[in-house]
Amino acid sequence: MKYVIVGGVAGGAAVAARLRRNDEHAEIIIFEKGEYISYANCGLPYYVGETIKDREKLFLENPSTFKENLNIDVKNNHEVLSIDKINKTVKVINLTNSNITTESYDKLILSPGATPIVPPISGIDSNKVFTLRNVPDADKLKAAIDNDKPTSAVVIGAGFIGMEAAENLYDRGLNVTIVEMANQVMTPLDYEMAAQVHEHLKFKEVALYLSDGVKSLKDLGNRIEIELQSGKRIFTDMVVLSIGVKPLTVLAENAGIDVNRGIVVNEFLETSAKDIYALGDAAEMKHGITGKNAIVPLAGPAGKQARILADNLVYNSKKPYKGAIGTSIAKIFDLTVATTGLPEKSVEDSLSVIVNGSSHAGYYPGAMQLFLKLVFDKEGKLLGAQGVGYEGVDKRLEMIAAVIRMGGTVNDLTEVEHAYAPPFSSSKDPVNILGFTAENVLLNRSTHTKWHELNEIITTNNPDYVLLDIRTVDERELHPLSGTLQMDKSEVRSNLEKIPKNKKIVVLCSGGLRAYLTERILRQEGFKSVSILSGGLNIFFSS
């Protein structure tokens, strides 16, 4: 069997290696248009930032080690130009000498990845504008920092690659500004979770322009001038453009293979053309939750797809890939930000809860606050989760992602069994608490008012509501909120007559727990309409 693979990085290299492990006698050829194969794109921002100092560490394999260890022929600097599906051949150009050859295949695997989106705005072709997709991009960006010693940079686009770029430029001592067209960073997060990141960026003195796009760029020789759509102007030494990626579909499209936003594949990674398969950033397939076609441009899914595809090809099996759900994580300065599944804003009629948790038992030194948000439907089926914090966000999101991927429910989260000892967790992990909190909402034992609903009540001075602020005096002094009925939580039981029974009560505390405990008291004392602020005032004040 002869396998030809287009693209030799995450998906392509992984599928090739697995094919070899499965079939010692197959002929396997990788065509890679760049110089390098099997490198860590995910490590590139950290190489620029010099957290990864040794460039060689980025390369997991090279063409000779692939030949030596796996007997795979890697033709780097070779671009596949076209596919002839009838004769089962590809046309290839050797980019070092421009020779064009034809290579036959029995099975053709497309993993060409994606390319950074570069909008057609004036000045975008300046050599002070960088993208970050591959090793040459990283080399160029790093060389510009090393040689030209810029003091400032603007990152356009606040997705996870933009944010990682921002952090690493900052680590190199540059003054960093981020410009983002949306009203928040990291669009897979809901706004109030992203707001925690906004606060952190402010704390780090990173300038953040939200709800503003770039209109034009002007290279002034020693600097670059950015004009925003709002009319504001920013002067900077360099620009990193990171507004998203576009799947590389042209090969497939020209060959008459079904392409939508990406190369359309079924659950077996089969394209519409016989014996041609696609995976990774270029492939569009059913999303693991919505069942609708989606592109999830992440390394984890690409690797898993590669294994399934290679197994199906060699063992003639039909194991399906069940679809990625977008589980991702980023280190944003000191914060960890992670998401899985769908945000609340993308699902009509979804429910959500936010919990202020602790990375491990509060009585054990070093516990750090974390925020977890859970999105679920009215039947309790889990749809998504988000986490922002310093420590322990990763494992919580991974636990929830695993449950979501298995089609789990809120009830499953209440019973998730975690590894507990005080340095690692609490006997009830924040993930369990998230499940308990969501269960309370589903069973109507607790009602959550969202941060924006509270905002509306305050700004309209809605007379139907009483905002019962049960924080301590110290907390209220630190973060004052006027127009509330104030009493310490410990005073509630003995002051019930001061709380109007004919109004809708929203109980406010900093983190949400004391408000919930108070809500339980009030409901059992005959108060008909009581709710708590989801996530507490900690979330509200930064939103």
Give SS3 for 211: coil
Applying CB under 6 A, the span of 29-37, 145-153, 420-428, 440-448 interacting with ligand FAD comes to 29-37
Pick the closer one to ligand FAD by CB: 93 or 121. Answer: 93
- Listed in sequence order, the residues at least 6 apart from 21 whose beta carbon sits closer than 8 Å to its beta carbon are 310
Contact status: 112 vs ligand FAD (CB under 6 A): yes
Contact status: 79 vs ligand FAD (CB under 6 A): yes
Element at 339 (helix H, strand E): strand 335-341
Residue of 2, 22, 42, 65 with catalytic role: 42
Closest CA to 521 of 535, 507, 539: 507
Applying CB under 6 A, the span of 6-14, 387-395, 497-505, 516-524 interacting with ligand FAD comes to 6-14
Q: Which pairing describes strands 351-358 and 335-341: parallel, antiparallel, or unpaired?
A: unpaired
- Ranked by CB distance to ligand FAD, the top (closest) residue is 280
Shortest separation between residue 66's beta carbon and ligand FAD, angstroms: 14
Pick the closer one to ligand FAD by CB: 178 or 532. Answer: 178
Phi, psi angles (nearest 5°) of residue 292: -90, 155
Applying CB under 6 A, the span of 31-39, 253-261, 337-345, 429-437 interacting with ligand FAD comes to 31-39
Contact status: 32 vs ligand FAD (CB under 6 A): yes
Contact status: 392 vs ligand FAD (CB under 6 A): no
Structure tokens at 199: 């606060």
Shortest separation between residue 534's beta carbon and ligand FAD, angstroms: 29
C-alpha–C-alpha distance, residues 124 and 450, integer Å? 41
Contact status: 181 vs ligand FAD (CB under 6 A): no
Contact status: 161 vs ligand FAD (CB under 6 A): yes
Contact status: 60 vs ligand FAD (CB under 6 A): no
CB of 536 within 8 A of CB of 508? yes
Shortest separation between residue 77's beta carbon and ligand FAD, angstroms: 9
Pick the closer one to ligand FAD by CB: 76 or 446. Answer: 76
Shortest separation between residue 114's beta carbon and ligand FAD, angstroms: 6
C-alpha–C-alpha distance, residues 324 and 188, integer Å? 14
Burial state string for 337-355 with b = 16 or more CB within 10 A and e = fewer than 16 = bbbbbbbbeebeebbbbbb
Contacts 24+ apart (CB under 8 A), 301-304: 302/10, 302/11, 302/14, 302/111, 303/10, 303/11, 303/14
Q: How many CB atoms lie under 10 A from the CB of residue 421?
A: 11
517 burial via Cβ count (<10 Å: 0-12, 13-18, 19+): middle
Question: Exactly one of 2, 91, 133, 322 binds ligand FAD (CB under 6 A); which one?
Answer: 133
Closest CA to 56 of 40, 42, 71: 40
Question: Exactly one of 7, 49, 380, 384 binds ligand FAD (CB under 6 A); which one?
Answer: 7
CB of 171 within 8 A of CB of 270? no
> Which 262-301 positions form the footprint of ligand FAD (CB under 6 A)?
280-282, 297-300
Number of amino acids touching ligand FAD (CB under 6 A): 32
Contact status: 186 vs ligand FAD (CB under 6 A): no
Shortest separation between residue 405's beta carbon and ligand FAD, angstroms: 15
Question: Exactly one of 4, 12, 108, 144 binds ligand FAD (CB under 6 A); which one?
Answer: 12
3-state secondary structure 384-430: EEEEEECCCHHHHHHHHHHHHHCCCEHHHHHHCCCCCCCCCCCCCCH
CB of 84 within 8 A of CB of 92? no
Contact status: 370 vs ligand FAD (CB under 6 A): no
Shortest separation between residue 15's beta carbon and ligand FAD, angstroms: 9
Shortest separation between residue 31's beta carbon and ligand FAD, angstroms: 5
Pick the closer one to ligand FAD by CB: 23 or 103. Answer: 103
Give the CA angle between residues 289, 291, 297 to the nearest 5°: 75
Contact status: 243 vs ligand FAD (CB under 6 A): no
Contact status: 9 vs ligand FAD (CB under 6 A): yes
Element at 82 (helix H, strand E): strand 78-84
Does the annotation mark 509 as catalytic? Answer: no
Applying CB under 6 A, the span of 38-46, 381-389, 415-423, 522-530 interacting with ligand FAD comes to 38-46
Pick the closer one to ligand FAD by CB: 302 or 399. Answer: 302
Query: What's the full length of the chain, in residues?
Result: 543
Question: Exactly one of 153, 158, 176, 251 binds ligand FAD (CB under 6 A); which one?
Answer: 251
Pick the closer one to ligand FAD by CB: 99 or 462. Answer: 99
CB of 10 within 8 A of CB of 304? no
Which residues form the interface with ligand FAD (CB under 6 A)? 6-7, 9-12, 31-34, 41-42, 44-45, 79-80, 111-113, 132-133, 161, 248, 251, 280-282, 297-300, 302
| Catalytic residue IDs | 42
